[in-house]
Amino acid sequence: MAFVQSSRFLCFPSARSASPLPSPPPPPPPVSSNATSIHASNASLFSAAGWNCNLSSSSSSSSSSLVNCPYFPGISLLLHLQCPMPQRSKFRQLVVVNAARAEAQTPQLGTRAPEFELPEPLTGRTWKLEDFEGHPALLVMFICNHCPFVVHLKQDIVMLSKTYIQKGLGVVAISSNSVKTHPQDGPDKMAEDARMYDYPFPYLYDETQDVARAYGARCTPEFFLFKKSGRRPFELVYHGQFDDSRPGNNRPITGLDLRHALDCVLSGRLVNIVHRPRLAGLAK
């Protein structure tokens, strides 16, 4: 996907360190005129807040690592360690985070479900939106194989889906990750994943990412719940989180938010839950 509006966050050594620290190397020039800087203890701040911070331990003078952001739609990150390796034992790593926001806009409630026609690697079948016309509601999930935030919820997503499919819900999962950057998310691996976890829903491959862009999906996992009234097209009634659980935050996986939305839709009630698509998690 295309990205715009770069911003920057600088995370410096902890002020609580007992021993004096050498001066950190100067930060690189800003990537944009509106770059913003904040102080934080180290990358663990992001991890505690739910960011997937996989820092490289390369022996070079600096290194970079891609980071997934589960809370802010459309933000992907690159952590660049500015501290020379010999000094890292004395430093809380100086981390420069380059964040970019996706072009796609978050869809508004009431938006019609975009059409799609995508292959299912496990069976070879091609699925379309119209294949779900007979269901009173449709849950569209953007997931992938490798994302730790998907892995954290994967078994519970399967259990929830099996429960609500029996109640008439239509469910489809879509992976839009590039095979070039994430070969573990390719079609063959998707079929293996679907077989291993016994997915009760089709797991489709969006090779061009056109469907992800059409839906406004910007991270994984991302949940879109649509309802159908008579001959009217599917309309978006919930776009939010599974629940408050994140890897490492010790909160139980309940699926509370999504379950409440599903119960409302399938019982003909308005979805009265607060829509919290990952954004609330960072502030907690």
* Model pLDDT for residues 122-170, shown as the tens digit of each residue: 999 999 999 999 999 999 999 999 999 999 999 999 999 999 999 999 9
pLDDT for 173-226, tens place per residue? 999 999 999 999 999 999 999 999 999 999 999 999 999 999 999 899 999 999
Distance CA 102, CA 194 (A): 28
pTM over 0.85: no
Confidence of residue 90 (pLDDT cuts 50, 70, 90): very low
CA distances 145 to 176, 177, 185, Å, are: 11, 9, 5
3-state secondary structure string, the chain?
CCEEEEEEEEECCCCCCCCCCCCCCCCCCCCCCCCCCCCCCCHHHHHHCCCECCCCCCCCCCEEEEEECCCCCCCEEEEEECCCHHHCCCCCCCEEEEEEEECCCCCCCCCECCCCEEECCCCCCEEEHHHHCCCCEEEEEECCCCCHHHHHHHHHHHHHHHHHHCCCCEEEEEECCCCCCCHHHCHHHHHHHHHHCCCCCCEEECCCCHHHHHHCCCCCCEEEEEECCCCCCCEEEEEECCCCCCCCCCCCCCCHHHHHHHHHHHCCCCCCCCCCCCHHHHHC
Q: What angle do CA 176, 139, 180 make, to 5 degrees?
A: 5
| 74: pLDDT strictly greater than 90 | no
Distance CA 239, CA 226 (A): 9
Q: Per mean pLDDT, which range of 28-32, 162-166, 197-201, 253-257 is the poorest?
A: 28-32
Q: What angle do CA 204, 218, 110 make, to 5 degrees?
A: 85
| 76: pLDDT strictly greater than 60 | no
pLDDT score recorded for residue 274:
73
Report strand pairing: 3-11 vs 63-68.
Answer: unpaired
Which amino acid, one-letter code, is at 154? K
